[in-house]
Each structure stands twice: as structure tokens, then as C-alpha cells.
Amino acid sequence: MSKLILTRHGQSIWNAENRFTGWVDVDLSEKGIKEAEKSGELIKKLNIKIDICYTSFLKRAIKTLTTILQKNNLELKFNTAWQLNERHYGSLTGLNKDETKKKIGEEQFKKYRRSWDIPPPPIKEDSKYLSNFSPLNGGIPIGMTPLTESLKNTYERVIPFYENEIKKNLYEDKNILVSAHGNSLRALCKYLFKISDGKINELEIPTGNPLMIEFEKNLNIKKFFYLDDSRTKNIIFNQ
């Protein structure tokens, strides 16, 4: 029976500042470092073997993963994948969320932030934030780097990666740890939990609280739960 542990990175500096981060390669905040350490401690209490781990090209997810591995005394080589990057927020990148809501109105703000298939306007080619994107992005195939994304666009890169890379290892009864981002994990949870386009906007993924998913042999989900009961969020299933 294979297990998949999904961990959103600990709070980032821009999470703390309430800014749209997306592909900007910001670091963890002090709180985020503590959340990553707590994630590692929670996973250690499970007393299970972690066979394979994956993360994105962004340092906040990479640092969360390395912290978890250190807490578990693991020296696993981890796999980085741009497909697990956070959603690209286009022209919203770097903006304060409260200020943006006041400027464009709550209805449009909700569409950009939580709709299934409405992306913000693309980031401008002269945006100062482009220089703060991960240098690892240089390895993305030509023509694949987005200028903006909806959650649907994010889903369209996350799920093929899951199907082609992660799923085969789950079939082989491997226990897998993924350290990624709020929207890349929302996309994956939409697929795994069969969440509809209309309900996915209600799914919240807390920072630094690992979600354990246990599978049966056929990869039907047997059970799922957050490791920190005090910070659990509602998981929408088959709705």
C-alpha cells in the first residue's frame, strides 16, 4: 500500500507580506522555517520509509524539502521539476493582494485569484520581477515558460508530470514525498480527489502541514488526513 505525502512549503517572505508570488524565487520567512521543521517532525512520527521525493524549481519548496529530510535523517537525492512550480500570476506578480483588490474590485480579484480558467494579464517583458525568477527555470524547454496562468493552466502541467513520473512509483508501492506550492498542490488534489471545476475554488492548502494520502493497490484512495490536527483544512472529495 503506497503513500503520498503532499507538503506546501512553509510561509514565504512574500506570503507574510501578502503579495502575489508565483514564480518569483523568494525565501522562507522565519515562521516558514519553523513550519518546515514542524513538517519534518510530523512526518518523522509516522515512522514510515520515504522512498522518493519531488519538489519544484523554487527555493521555498526546495528548502522546505531539505529541512524535512534533515529532520528525518534522510540523504535522499530529490527530483526537481518545473512542472511543480507555483502558478504563474502574470501581471499580478509582486502586487499586494489587498491593494490589488481595492484597485480592480472584489469580483475581478476573485476571478483572477480563485477561478478555474481565468488567468491574469501576462507579465510584461520589462517587469523588474523577471530577474528574481529561479535560475533553474533556464532548464525549461523552449516555448514552455508561461507569461501568466490560470489554475487550469497549472493543472495542465502538473497532472502529466504526476501521470508520467509519480504514479508509476506509487504502483510499485513506493512512499513519495512532494514539497510544492499552494496552487500546484491544489491542481494535484483536484485530480486525486475528483474535485469539480466549480468547487476547486473552495480548496485551501495550508502552509507547512503535510497531507497524507494512502492508496489501495489500484491507486484508489483509502484514506487521507493532515498530520497537524490543529491546522487542518477541509478536503473536498468527489464533488
Sheet harboring 176-180: ordered strands across? 79-80, 52-55, 176-180, 3-8, 211-215, 221-226
Q: Residue 183, SS3?
A: helix
Residues with catalytic annotation?
Answer: 9, 86
Buried b (16+ CB within 10 A) or exposed e, 95-106: beeeebbeeeee
Residue 84 near residue 55 (C-beta atoms within 8 A): yes
Report the DSSP pairing between strands 79-80 and 52-55. Answer: parallel
Q: Which cell numbers in the block locate residue 196?
A: 469539480
Question: Quick one: DSSP state of residue 129?
Answer: G
In angstroms, the Cα distances linking 172 to 81, 89, 99, 104 are 21, 36, 48, 49
